[in-house]
Structure 1
């Protein structure tokens, strides 16, 4: 049995052009007619189909927004691209509804509850209001998402924020059948042309529609109505055309109002990051370098865009990590001019290996988790204030291990055949006393292994040493050497853990 999540976007145009519609009397006009309105506008008497003059008379404080098909489609594409993070089987259905087949994604995201919360967080990051539903069939999920419930009364044309209720979660077929039977018959688009005839015969719900003789129902309606009804109840296969990510990522947002604070920049840039992560998941890739361009005034007062470079030491496509990295960079940014648009450019990506599913995971987290912490520290303090160990191709221990500015490691390594190296090296070798022909460091040191001869550095002072592994009476092991240029004197150079 499959698991579907339907995401019904209530109105992308209103979310894009008037993000504060929940607190305002917002109205979307289409050719001088009301297309949709917010709950506050509905309470004043504004209705779909009303002219602008009637809106101004009933609600003078209403914020009128002109419907834009391009903005509407751009918002739908942005939502589809961002939701590709969770499944490649994503389809666009009627009434601005996206259908996600998440059957193969449940174990990856820790179950349906966690996955559902992740999808809700993505929609919130995109600033899109949506009504979601979970069902065992795509048609059933679509119906539960598009039809308002008693807990979320939304008259036609009135946008309300709808939270997830138990009535929108039907993971088993028998519970889905009972929930669908209570829905109105006109919830199916194919049944709306025959709504008057169905009302006359007392068929007001999908359950009653199922009880009608199929042959007679097909003669009086259409074959599409029976197909849609069977698909919703899981009696016929459902075929969709899946949405695929474009070959190149182009993320850009034109702002309705100027932005003058970095907090607002972070909120808008989060929408671009969600789209980027969906695009990366669709191509099974991860990003290491990108740039956020903050565009300013054009025309006579034009200013060049402000670039904000973002770099991750390890490939990532986690929107939470990228957002945290962006916020750290924004803390150090001072806007020199208002921002009117933003664009996200991807400079370097690479293929990402599948996430390992270890039987015994490391309790300290994966190396990627630890590297993400380092990325945040670098963004907060700067690369010149954070050091990391770096190897150099030199046989002298004090030269082979050095500190360098944090960043991508450029290691020119060399292997040591048969040699042991201690965990700690002294900053400067410590001369040792010799008693009874043995080196002395608190107690006599007994030689266990050696010598290992190292001769190097002829260009800046010849180094000639014989290294030994020694142990004291307490069992602590040391790394010693004899300097052949200083009459075989003993020196302590390192301590083993």
Structure 2
């Protein structure tokens, strides 16, 4: 199924300066000393598009004036296009702040047209922009529906698209705008009426570009596009609209950059293992080096949900030494995206990736020294055979593990090992712990230790009268005869 999604960003000049997250600002965008776009508060103050600068200042002296910047608009449109690459590798830029996405191959992956549109709208909200979405079997048809102020802009069939296009005004086509007075004079106001005019005369009067657009919209010609190509590396920056003094207020800007990185990762088929967020401070005489937030992941990811949670925890614990005026996000370490698991049944308790993400979230919230993992050591003695170390700080790295001694015994080990062995009483030549203990396993001899710390023990699994099982050992003292009374110790409890 061939389906195109058109995104028209009609308020892009305004949202470049006054994004959704600062909708309470009183902002106006000027072009050649005339008001071009206004924020909701500015409109409530009486400022309207087309006013002069002096008139806007008269109505609201505290209004923030911004000159229209084609460079910033192009950067914003590029950022949105890069984020859309997570939904389709075929994204092209159309005329008049419009993006076109060939989403036919993505429908099954995202669960249909409506679900895909909801995902795209969520990404736009995360970026801080609003857009009019449309769906059509042709790219030019999706472009026209997105540009038109219509309530229903989703069309899946060519017949429905033709009926919908026939009711649109001729002014939507850029080549038709110089001839609108002539069209009005002959009673041609809609695309349907324009389509029924004689083609030879229309071509001589208005040129071939108008007919080409009509043919593209109705699927009568092949449309050619220049697809957006993701750069080989990712580094994106964002200038904040005000000085931010609290770190947790930077999360919205970080999400905007993460959305772009997600599209870049999907387009390049990469998964990120390590990212770096730079918080830029004041420049000039009071310049300071940027604050660095480095996130290393145990498992590579290509979605932004986990990264957003990690950044939220890190920013909540960060105390800023100076206000932040800009953000820069860089993907420092990536690897090819791993294929999905081919196991038939899901693992109980979640996948290893989900467990690793949980540990990373705990580390970000509690600190590195408060989340530890077991690390075996090359020692036969049970109390020295393990140590607790912080989780690896580097993505994909493992804590340095020494080579374990060969031939480790396969005897059962208790679930609870005592910090210090407990000496046991002897009654009727048997060790006693609440009741006489009966040995129910053969002896396991352990001899280890160096430089005065050598140990020689015979370990047994013992059972009490209450059928509880214990891990006990008999100490072997060097230089003592066989008749010497043995000393017994309790070292662990079985579940």
1:13 counterpart residue number: 13
Mapping 1:36-435, distance limit 5 Å: 36-38=37-39, 44=46, 46-48=48-50, 51-56=52-57, 62-149=63-150, 167-214=152-199, 217-356=202-341, 359-362=344-347, 364-408=349-393, 409-412=398-401, 414=404, 419-422=410-413, 424-427=415-418, 428-429=420-421
Confirm or deny: 8 A CA contact 1:446 1:472 kept in the other structure: no
Which consecutive unaligned segments of at least 5 residues does structure 2 have?
A: none
SS in 1 for 2:219: coil
SS in 2 for 1:257: strand
Q: For 2:382 and 2:408, how far apart are their aligned partners in 1?
A: 15
Give 1:382 shift: 0.9
Which consecutive unaligned segments of at least 5 residues does structure 1 have?
A: 150-164
Confirm or deny: 8 A CA contact 1:438 1:445 kept in the other structure: no
Matched residue count: 478
SS in 2 for 1:170: coil
Give 1:308 shift: 2.8
Give 1:465 shift: 4.8
2:454 counterpart residue number: 462
SS in 2 for 1:234: coil
Give 1:363 shift: 5.8
Give 1:387 shift: 2.0
Q: For 2:3 and 2:414, how far apart are their aligned partners in 1?
A: 52
SS in 2 for 1:168: coil
Cα 1:129/1:319, change in 2 over 3 Å: same
TM-score normalised over the length of structure 1: 0.81
Larger radius of gyration: 2
Confirm or deny: 8 A CA contact 1:46 1:59 kept in the other structure: no
SS in 2 for 1:169: coil
Cα 1:148/1:286, change in 2 over 3 Å: same
Q: For 1:38 and 1:143, how far apart are their aligned partners in 2?
A: 26
TM-score normalised over the length of structure 2: 0.82
Cα 1:29/1:393, change in 2 over 3 Å: same
Cα 1:6/1:417, change in 2 over 3 Å: farther
SS in 2 for 1:255: strand
Which string of whole-angstrom CA distances, capped at 9 and with x for unpartnered residues, describes residues 140-160 of structure 1?
A: 2222222212xxxxxxxxxxx
Cα 1:131/1:419, change in 2 over 3 Å: same
* Stretch moving more, 460-469 or 73-82: 460-469
Cα 1:3/1:476, change in 2 over 3 Å: farther
Q: For 1:207 and 1:423, how far apart are their aligned partners in 2?
A: 82
Confirm or deny: 8 A CA contact 2:8 2:146 kept in the other structure: yes
Confirm or deny: 8 A CA contact 1:445 1:473 kept in the other structure: no
Confirm or deny: 8 A CA contact 2:422 2:491 kept in the other structure: yes
Cα 1:61/1:382, change in 2 over 3 Å: closer
Cα 1:386/1:42, change in 2 over 3 Å: closer
Give 1:79 shift: 1.6
Q: For 2:467 and 2:114, how far apart are their aligned partners in 1?
A: 54
Give 1:481 shift: 5.7
Cα 1:24/1:252, change in 2 over 3 Å: closer
Cα 1:467/1:111, change in 2 over 3 Å: farther
Give 1:475 shift: 8.8
Q: For 2:199 and 2:129, how far apart are their aligned partners in 1?
A: 40
Give 1:215 shift: 5.2
Confirm or deny: 8 A CA contact 1:19 1:127 kept in the other structure: yes
Which string of whole-angstrom CA distances, capped at 9 and with x for unpartnered residues, describes residues 209-245 of structure 1?
A: 3444555544544433333223323343333222122
